[in-house]
Amino acid sequence: MQPEVESRGRAIAAPAGIVLRTRARAKINLDLRVLGRRADGYHELESLVAFAGIGDELSLVPQQPLSLSITGPRAAGLEAGDGNLVLRAARTFEQLFPGAATGSFHLVKRLPVASGIGGGSADAAAALRLLARLNGVALSDGKLRGVAASVGADVPVCLESRARLMAGIGERLGPVLRLPALFAVLVNPGVPVETVGVFRAMGLTAGQPLKATRDQWAASPSEAAELRALLACSGNDLAAPAEQIAPEIGEVLECLEELPGSRLARMSGSGATCFALFDDCHASAAAAKVLARERPGWWVKPTLLR
């Protein structure tokens, strides 16, 4: 995978005739606060986001008609048409960068869909990274960030895929945080959960006063135990309404809490994917092996969050 290259603050376009590749890493909401519902109906959020070492894979063949093909263990049922976020991101990029080169995308889908880990948003952000690399556009470019925000709420934070605090409806990003490595197990019970339904189940009325934001992440905790202690004081406000829609989430959390060495168990995003944190990679790998054996129908992955 070629890295984005910049010279004197300006990105250098990738050479023609090569295949560009990137990984669309899973987004994990370490916590998530719903601050309220604005007068326009959108929910104001605040969340500490980290990214996993696992994800989808996206490649781009330049000098081909804009298109998308999808394979992989989680490709079943996914549409490769204009409604897919990868193509939506590419077409929006074309509109804001007239004359931009595009190409043929191929997505290897490994992350479960509608699962609270930003799979579609990470794929869209990956498409924008590849197009930016192809056309010599820096990831810090304001127009590129505008494209990301217009495609989806989680796309801006997935653009760089680095730990940070996100707020608003996803458009406000804090500085990149150097979080300590978190050894985790991700679990999805195979039940898709639509975000719209979860917010509807919260029952918040439009225009109600918003909760105050926080500033506790102004500095990054240097130790995993310190970070876990901070996270234990927060939570995920979407967990309860998500469990109303998918009771399996409660079962997943219970199983994660009971795993040997589990330090913290929580749902990510709007569900149904949940995670547990462990002291080291050996504990997380052993726990994942136990859970995968006990629940063979679940998607269970040990990973590193950063």
Tell me the catalytic residues: 27, 154
pLDDT of 272 above 70? yes
Mean pLDDT of the chain: 92
Residues 234-269 pLDDT 10s: 999 999 999 999 999 999 999 999 999 999 999 999
Choice among 55-59, 164-168, 214-218, 267-271 with the minimum mean pLDDT:
214-218
Residues 42-56 pLDDT 10s: 999 999 999 999 999
Residues 259, 254: Cα–Cα separation, whole Å: 9
Q: Which residue has the tokens 């409660």?
A: 250
Instruction: Kindly report the CATH number that applies to the domain delimited by 182-305.
Output: 3.30.70.890
Q: For residue 35, give every residue at least 6 positions away whose Cβ sits within 8 Å of its Cβ, in sequence order, or none.
A: 43, 44, 45, 46, 210, 211, 212, 213
Residues 2-16 pLDDT 10s: 333 332 334 667 666
Residues 101, 114: Cα–Cα separation, whole Å: 30
Reported pTM: 0.92
pLDDT of residue 209: 77
Q: Which fold has domain 6-173?
A: Ribosomal Protein S5; domain 2 (3.30.230)
- For the chain, the domains span 6-173, 182-305
